[in-house]
């Protein structure tokens, strides 16, 4: 049934392999051994999946490696279908975005020294920035790592984040630094701004 829905048995096996091993790369012959399918069929489906954007490729040691694209728009729902333990993924897709963001806001408010928190990237529909969370302030690194780990568990994917001390952020904002401007002027959600430094129309 699921083979018919997703086009081919090889594609289903590939989705299962990649979505159960986020962050892990595989080369073609390794993939053919793992899923027990013909190399031509595997190459064809990998090409299709690359075109769609569900996987990415990278060359290393004269080999082409493939891995799941955790920033793919439908990564979480696909993981809910193909993951070996889909319960957490299903819960993360059924929980509303507003509910998730409210939870993250509460978590961030508990961090001493945090003055600004901006969500973008995978959190905001239509955002094209590579950074998902921008945090500004004098913050203990271990607290940030713990927070990000909790958010990644909730989202079911890796999160790209950036932490800046307030003076550096303010300077980069004032000189219209490209990195900061892209986040602030792009689609985002400001969830903490204790100094009211970012004015939104």
Instruction: Give the domain CATH number at 112.
Output: 3.30.460
Q: Give the structural domain span for 43.
A: 2-93
Alpha helices in 83-124 (DSSP H): 87-94, 97-109
Residue 46 inside a domain? The answer is: yes
Q: Where does residue 10 rank: exposed (0-12), middle (13-18), buried (19+ CB within 10 A)?
A: buried
pTM of the shown model: 0.65
pLDDT of residue 85: 61
Residue at which a domain ends, from 40, 74, 93: 93
Residues 105 and 58 in one domain: no
Number of domains in the chain: 2
Residue 22 reports pLDDT greater than 90: no
Residue at which a domain ends, from 38, 71, 93: 93
Q: What is the CATH number of the domain that holds 55?
A: 1.10.10.10
Residue 200 inside a domain? The answer is: no
In the predicted model, what is the mean pLDDT of residues 129-142? Answer: 92
Question: What's the chain's Rg over C-alpha atoms?
Answer: 20
Sheet hosting strand 161-164, strand order edge to edge = 161-164, 133-137, 114-119, 189-193
pLDDT digits (tens, 9 = 90+) for 78-99: 888 887 764 444 444 433 356 7
Residues 19 and 68 in one domain: yes
Residue at which a domain ends, from 60, 93, 126: 93
Mean pLDDT of the chain: 85
In the predicted model, what is the mean pLDDT of residues 190-201? Answer: 81
Distances (CA, A) of 88 to 80, 81, 91, 152, 159: 8, 11, 5, 11, 17
């Amino acid at each position: 049934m699921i083979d018919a829905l997703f086009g081919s048995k090889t594609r289903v096996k590939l989705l299962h392999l990649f979505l159960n091993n986020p962050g892990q790369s595989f080369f073609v012959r390794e993939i053919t051994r793992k899923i027990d399918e013909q190399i031509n069929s595997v190459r064809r489906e990998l090409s299709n999946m690359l075109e769609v954007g569900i996987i990415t490729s990278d060359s290393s040691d004269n080999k082409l490696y493939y891995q799941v694209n955790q920033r793919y728009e439908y990564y979480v729902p696909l993981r809910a279908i193909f993951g070996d333990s889909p319960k957490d993924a299903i819960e993360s897709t059924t929980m509303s975005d507003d509910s998730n963001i409210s939870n993250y806001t509460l978590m961030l408010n508990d961090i001493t020294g945090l003055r600004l928190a901006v969500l973008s990237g995978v959190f905001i529909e239509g955002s094209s920035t590579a950074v998902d969370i921008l945090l500004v302030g004098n913050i203990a690194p271990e607290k940030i790592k713990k927070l990000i780990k909790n958010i990644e568990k909730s989202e079911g994917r890796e999160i790209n984040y950036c932490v800046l001390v307030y003076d550096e952020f303010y300077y980069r904002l004032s000189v219209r630094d490209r990195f900061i401007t892209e986040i602030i002027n792009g689609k985002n959600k400001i969830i903490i701004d204790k100094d009211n430094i970012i004015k939104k129309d």
